[in-house]
Amino acid sequence: MSRLVDLVNMKYLPGKSSRSGQALLLVLLSMAVVLTVVLSILSRSITDVSVTTREEEALRAFSAAEAGVEQSLVIGTGLGETQIGEATFRTTVTSAVASAKEFASPAGLFSGESLTFWLVGHDDSGDLVCDATHSCFTGSQIKICWGKAGTPGDSVQTPAIEASIYYDRTPGNDATVRIARITTDPNTVRAASNHFSGTDGATCTTAGENFAFSKTINFAGLGIPAAVYQTQDGLQYLKVRMFYNTGETQPVGILVTAAAGNGNLPSQGLRISSVGVSGDVNRSIDVFEGYSEAPSIFDASVFSLGGLTQ
């Protein structure tokens, strides 16, 4: 009887093999947790290193592209593939709008600021020239487009413009320079007090951009002789000044109309495209460099070869 009791008791006593199995399971679970943590840390470290490397390459590529722009601004021509540190750059320089009929300025204007559109050509040194290679505009009229598409015409911030056409009374003789001006305001209520002329009453599109307002300028209507605007090197440049839009910049562009006798626009400046490369990263910069223009103080100055008389 005692033998049977002993056998029954032995059946329910935990054995050594059971305890060993539980310990192995705990060890495996612990190793899985540790391995997961280690792999997570390694993955994060690899990702951080990769991101840091890409950021450094991006900075080097951007710096190389900037260096290409600066060198092209100095020498005035494009550069082939050039090594700079651990990066390279390549630049191209092209004429902006040469022998075309439309141009939209890449820079907008605040109230009081002005922008020059050239009607004569420039040589490689930046000097004014009219010849078979460097075209100069001839024609009886030109259209100015301004204001972002959707700009209301009855707001206090609605932009108005003043257009000044500089021309040589005797074409090619800068001693005979004259100025013809016209002002135009889309805001008809405001125009009643500032006495600006009205606009064309229609939107316009030039160089792929849409503008809210437009004004066609007829040179004959401003008193410019036909012998001037029909002759090379007669019309010099058009300066557009903007008013009233103190809150934000507004774009402006010009468009040569389809009127008989209108030629093409000359180059308005240089476009510089620079691409920097570092590793697998590319960065590009596009810059527009306009030609030098007379300081704005000359717009309000009085010139006299023989002195001033009150």
- Are residue 246 and residue 112 in the same domain, yes or no? yes
φ, ψ (nearest 5 deg) of residue 220:
-65, -35
Mean pLDDT of 259-276: 88
Tokens 């009607």 -> residue? 119
pLDDT tens column, 125-153: 888 999 888 889 999 999 999 999 999 99
- Are residue 107 and residue 80 in the same domain, yes or no? no
φ, ψ (nearest 5 deg) of residue 67:
-60, -40
- Are residue 85 and residue 214 in the same domain, yes or no? no
- Are residue 68 and residue 212 in the same domain, yes or no? no
What pTM was computed for the model? 0.75
Least confident range from 20-29, 30-39, 58-67, 259-268: namely 20-29
pLDDT tens column, 1-15: 455 445 445 455 555
- Asked whether 296 and 286 are in contact (CB, 8 A), the reply is no
Query: Does residue 25 form part of some domain?
Result: no
Neighbouring C-beta atoms of residue 126, cutoff 10 Å: 11
Tokens 């103190």 -> residue? 246
- Are residue 248 and residue 143 in the same domain, yes or no? yes
- Are residue 177 and residue 284 in the same domain, yes or no? no
Instruction: Give the residue among 173, 175, 178, 260 at the shortest CA–CA distance from 225.
Output: 178
What six digits make up the tokens of 1?
Answer: 């009887």
- Are residue 138 and residue 286 in the same domain, yes or no? no
What is the span of the domain harbouring residue 285?
55-96+268-294
Query: Does residue 176 form part of some domain?
Result: yes
Query: Does residue 4 form part of some domain?
Result: no
Query: Does residue 59 form part of some domain?
Result: yes
How many structural domains does the chain have? Answer: 2
Neighbouring C-beta atoms of residue 103, cutoff 10 Å: 22
For Cα atoms 248, 252, 256, give the angle at the middle one, nearest 5 degrees: 170
